[in-house]
Amino acid sequence: MESMIKLSALNTSLIEVRLIEGRDQACIWVNEHYFSLVTGQKLNISSSLQEGVNLLNFMIKTYSLKERILRGLFNQDWCGRFELYIDGKLRGTYNQNGGELLGSGEYTVAKIELNIDPAPPVPTQEPNTDSIKKPNTDPIKKQLLNIMNSLQNIWGMNPTHFENVGYSTPYIILENNIKINVWKNLAKVDYVFLIDPAGNCCFAGYVGWIHRKKFYRALQQIRNDYSNI
């Protein structure tokens, strides 16, 4: 009945839905995930999305006829008004209403095809310690170079700037006080930072949601590989 609405967002975006008005029961299907909605509250659905095409179905369900009579809804139309936000900005308002006599009905307010695109690469800031790039027999600098190479080779890794390192916390502490810090932003995207013994950030990167499990497995492998260097 409803035409498909097509939207797009980056895989680091925060996707939220808010119910403005719903009679009788408002819900949303996100791919295979079901959520009931509360009027006036935003619901973060980012964790239910995947890279590529996602299907969102905004719906209203009506109570049974007996329940509608008990709740004083008999002869009242069903209605639903939803808002969709991407990174805090309103991208669409969707509303429908209609008559309801027998109850126990399901009505689609809007169908949305939301395409999640990979985030564009961010220009990488040069490491603070230029000496890491120079040939050197110093074992600490060799260790930093090896770990940096391992981080860059993690599947789905995207190099990024260092400005968020202050939000991170140590996840792995290796010999010589070399640290691998992690941080998860509001969109639940995982970041990693390589910190040298002097506290300088030598590498920063992030992975998308679909690579999260492999990312943490790779960090554990790095712990195993470099703990005894």
In this structure, are 104 and 11 located in the same domain? yes
Q: Which tens digit of pLDDT belongs to each residue from 96-142?
A: 999 988 889 999 999 999 999 886 666 555 555 554 554 444 788 88
**Domains: count for the chain:** 2
- Are both 70 and 139 inside the same structural domain? no
Q: pLDDT of 177-222, one tens digit each? A: 899 999 998 888 899 999 999 889 999 999 988 888 999 999 999 8
CATH of the domain at 58: 2.60.40
The pLDDT > 70 percentage for the chain reads 90
Provide the 3-class DSSP secondary structure of residue 82. Answer: strand
Environment class of 94 (CB within 10 Å of its CB; exposed 0-12, middle 13-18, buried 19+) = buried
Are both 88 and 143 inside the same structural domain?
no
Q: Is the pTM of the predicted complex or chain greater than 0.95? A: no
Q: Report the candidate in 58, 194, 176 with the shortest Cα–Cα distance to residue 125.
A: 194
Residue of 39, 55, 47 lying closest to 13 (CA atoms): 47
Domain that holds residue 37: 4-117
The verdict on 98 and 195 lying in the same domain is no
Give the start-end residues of each E strand in the chain. Answer: 4-10, 15-23, 25-30, 33-36, 42-44, 52-61, 78-86, 89-98, 106-117, 158-159, 169-173, 179-184, 190-195, 201-207
**Domain boundary pick from 75, 94, 117:** 117
CB 159 within 8 A of CB 152: yes
Co-location of 36 and 112 in the same domain = yes
Question: Are 110 and 146 in the same domain?
Answer: no
